[in-house]
């Protein structure tokens, strides 16, 4: 029997631009995509239209499929000969149970590959302006799970069961992962290069246990003045950062819900100067883009680059003309001016010219006006130079700019919903 293959792919932390090139290639040839909650929905657009998309959840309160069922699904689809992409938030081997899924595939003799991803543990702080290491401040970082399951001595990276497992016993037990920190009496003392710069501590899945994590760190000798940051929905337009100290972060972070990364250490102080992402001019703004679907994406990308969250909401649609005759007849006559008020108008006219077996020579001796640079560029793509482009891209400026047109023949190709002013 020919088996398919499973690609265990890291989707990155949220910003859809943070998936790897290899990850995108896998998505492009996927027959099936099995994805988690923290995966950007935009990434699914890379997959072929007909690919099967299966959501398996994975918030602590939202597991559509259990881990066992997910493993079984991977095996089953691969056995059908399919190319399966297992798309997981961040990096698949950082608290993502990617290792367990790979083991299930090994057991079932299914070929697989792992495509690492950008983990939220580093990327969320980076987008909040916090480098996890910094010369003279922190020379190492450690990533912990803020969840612990009963019977585990380290922070157990179990996104599914751990939220349910915050029984008092689990909460009151200090996190042993932290206990390898220097004790209070060695803090700040010169004990060689390894203790002068403190390690940055990063916790994923830490919100439910924030109180006990902080208490453990304080017990381990961390000063209550240690800078701390919570970065929620890092790398996305909804990113929210709450900064405080070990002494007050529990209070300040009260309204912060998962998913969030907790960063503990002096590196957090660098944020004040390095918070580039949240400082972009349109950060935090949701903007409806009402252009036609085909034309919206360019504007949306520009808005996103400035920090906005663009929402495509087309209120117009560009359709071919119902009746070509008026335009064909107009094109059959000579004109003094042709005034284009949109790139779409240029396209429509060019299509009809071509349909009549004609080309740019049809405009020999005709003066061309474009309402703005995009329209002029569309003309240029057909080898046509706009004789006049107003400084201000509005109909009024065209009238003022083309001068006295008394007695001239003017062609004005435009949409049927365009304003009457220019005519
Ligand atoms: N494999 C993932 C982590 C999965 S565990 C990775 O490498 O990023 C899920 C936890 O990751 C969440 O509880 C949260 O702590 C963190 N997380 C994931 N995406 C995040 C984001 N965009 N912003 C902040 N934290 C995030």
* Edge-first strand listing for the sheet containing 337-340: 367-370, 337-340, 410-411
DSSP state of 392: S
DSSP element (H, E) containing 19: none
Is residue 42 pLDDT above 50, yes or no? yes
- Region 109-124: mean pLDDT is 98
Which of these, 271, 259, 305, lies nearest to 200 by C-alpha position? 271
What DSSP assignment string belongs to 22-63? HHHHHHHT-SEEEE-TTS-GGGGGGS-TTSEEEE---BTTB-
- Region 124-152: mean pLDDT is 88
Is the Cβ–Cβ distance between 150 and 167 less than 8 Å? yes
- Region 19-28: mean pLDDT is 98
205 flagged as catalytic: yes
Confidence of residue 59 (pLDDT cuts 50, 70, 90): low
DSSP state of 109: T
Across the chain, mean pLDDT equals 87
Instruction: Quote the ligand 1 centre to 178 CA distance (angstroms).
Output: 20
What is the sign of the dihedral through the CA atoms of 58, 64, 69 and 72? Answer: negative
Is residue 355 pLDDT above 90, yes or no? yes
SS3 call for 231:
strand
Lowest mean pLDDT among 99-108, 148-157, 336-345: 148-157
Q: Residue 169's pLDDT is what?
A: 34
Is the Cβ–Cβ distance between 112 and 9 less than 8 Å? no
Is residue 63 pLDDT above 90, yes or no? no
Q: Is ligand 1 within 6 A of the CB of residue 209?
A: no
Instruction: Quote the ligand 1 centre to 78 CA distance (angstroms).
Output: 27
Is the Cβ–Cβ distance between 65 and 98 less than 8 Å? no
* Edge-first strand listing for the sheet containing 5-10: 52-55, 32-35, 83-88, 5-10, 112-115
Nearest CA to ligand 1 atom 5: 95
Is the Cβ–Cβ distance between 42 and 11 less than 8 Å? no
Which of these, 14, 11, 60, lies nearest to 233 by C-alpha position? 14
DSSP element (H, E) containing 216: helix 210-219
Among the listed residues 36, 88, 91, 158, the single catalytic one is: 36
Q: Is ligand 1 within 6 A of the CB of residue 204?
A: yes
Confidence of residue 272 (pLDDT cuts 50, 70, 90): very high
Buried b (16+ CB within 10 A) or exposed e, 296-317: beeebeebbeebbbbeeeeeee
Cβ atoms within 10 Å, residue 224: 12
Confidence of residue 39 (pLDDT cuts 50, 70, 90): very high
Instruction: Quote the ligand 1 centre to 353 CA distance (angstroms).
Output: 55
Among the listed residues 91, 205, 207, 411, the single catalytic one is: 205
Ligand 1 atom closest to Cα of 203? 15
Q: Is ligand 1 within 6 A of the CB of residue 12?
A: no
Q: How many residues in the chain?
A: 423
207 flagged as catalytic: no
CA distance 229 to 218: 16
Q: Is ligand 1 within 6 A of the CB of residue 18?
A: no
Q: Residue 194's pLDDT is what?
A: 47
36 flagged as catalytic: yes
Is the Cβ–Cβ distance between 236 and 127 less than 8 Å? no
Q: Which residues pair with 83 in a beta bridge?
A: 5
CA distance 93 to 130: 23
Nearest CA to ligand 1 atom 25: 260
- Region 126-131: mean pLDDT is 98
Which of these, 39, 14, 158, lies nearest to 100 by C-alpha position? 158
Query: When comparing pLDDT for 293 and 266, which is higher?
Result: 266
CA distance 108 to 105: 5
Instruction: For 359-399, write each residue's pLDDT tens digit.
Output: 999 999 999 999 999 999 999 999 999 999 999 998 899 99
Which of these, 406, 405, 294, 407, lies nearest to 339 by C-alpha position? 405
Ligand 1 atom closest to Cα of 157? 5
Q: Is ligand 1 within 6 A of the CB of residue 89?
A: yes
Instruction: Quote the ligand 1 centre to 84 CA distance (angstroms).
Output: 23
Q: Which of 90, 235, 263 to mutate to test the pocket of ligand 1 (most atoms within 8 A of CB)?
A: 90
Q: Is ligand 1 within 6 A of the CB of residue 413?
A: no
Query: When comparing pLDDT for 57 and 17, which is higher?
Result: 17
Q: Is ligand 1 within 6 A of the CB of residue 120?
A: yes
Cβ atoms within 10 Å, residue 249: 25
Q: Is ligand 1 within 6 A of the CB of residue 78?
A: no
How far is C-alpha 66 from the geometric centre of its chain's CA atoms? 27
């Amino acid at each position: 029997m020919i088996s398919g293959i499973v690609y265990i792919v890291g989707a990155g932390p949220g910003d859809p631009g943070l998936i790897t090139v290899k990850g995108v290639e896998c998505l492009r040839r996927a027959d099936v995509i099995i994805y988690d909650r923290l995966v950007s929905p935009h990434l699914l657009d890379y997959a072929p239209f007909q690919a099967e998309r299966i959501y398996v959840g994975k918030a602590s309160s939202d597991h559509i499929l259990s881990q066992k069922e997910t493993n079984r699904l991977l095996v089953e689809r691969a056995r059908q000969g399919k190319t399966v992409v297992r798309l997981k938030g961040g990096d698949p081997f950082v608290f993502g149970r990617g290792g367990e899924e790979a083991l299930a595939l090994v057991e079932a003799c299914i070929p697989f590959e792992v495509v690492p991803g950008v983990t939220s543990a580093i990327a969320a702080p980076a987008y909040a302006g916090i480098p996890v290491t910094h010369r003279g401040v922190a020379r190492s970082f450690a990533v912990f799970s803020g969840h612990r399951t009963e019977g585990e001595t380290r922070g157990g990276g179990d996104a599914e069961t751990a939220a349910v497992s915050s029984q008092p016993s689990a909460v009151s037990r200090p996190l042993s992962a932290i206990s390898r920190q220097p004790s209070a009496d060695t803090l700040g003392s010169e004990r060689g290069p390894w203790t002068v710069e403190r390690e940055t501590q990063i916790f994923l899945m830490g919100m439910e246990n924030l109180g006990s994590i902080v208490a453990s760190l304080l017990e381990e000798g961390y000063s209550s003045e240690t800078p701390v940051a919570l970065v929620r929905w890092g790398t996305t337009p909804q990113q929210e950062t709450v900064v405080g100290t070990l002494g007050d972060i529990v209070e300040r972070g009260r309204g912060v819900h998962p998913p969030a990364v907790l960063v503990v250490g002096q590196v957090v102080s660098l944020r004040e100067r390095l918070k580039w992402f949240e400082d972009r001019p349109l950060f935090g703004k949701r903007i409806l883009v009402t252009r036609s679907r085909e034309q919206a994406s360019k504007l949306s990308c520009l808005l996103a680059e400035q920090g906005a969250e663009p929402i495509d909401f087309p209120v117009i649609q560009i359709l071919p003309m119902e009746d070509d005759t008026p335009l064909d007849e107009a094109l059959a006559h000579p004109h003094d001016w042709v005034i284009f008020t949109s790139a779409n108008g240029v396209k429509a006219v060019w299509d009809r010219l071509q349909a009549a077996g004609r080309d740019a020579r049809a405009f020999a001796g005709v003066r061309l006006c474009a309402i703005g640079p995009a329209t002029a560029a569309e003309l240029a793509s057909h080898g046509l130079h706009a004789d006049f482009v107003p400084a201000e891209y509005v109909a009024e400026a065209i009238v003022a700019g083309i001068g006295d047109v008394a007695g001239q023949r003017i062609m004005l190709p435009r949409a049927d919903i365009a304003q009457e002013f220019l005519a």
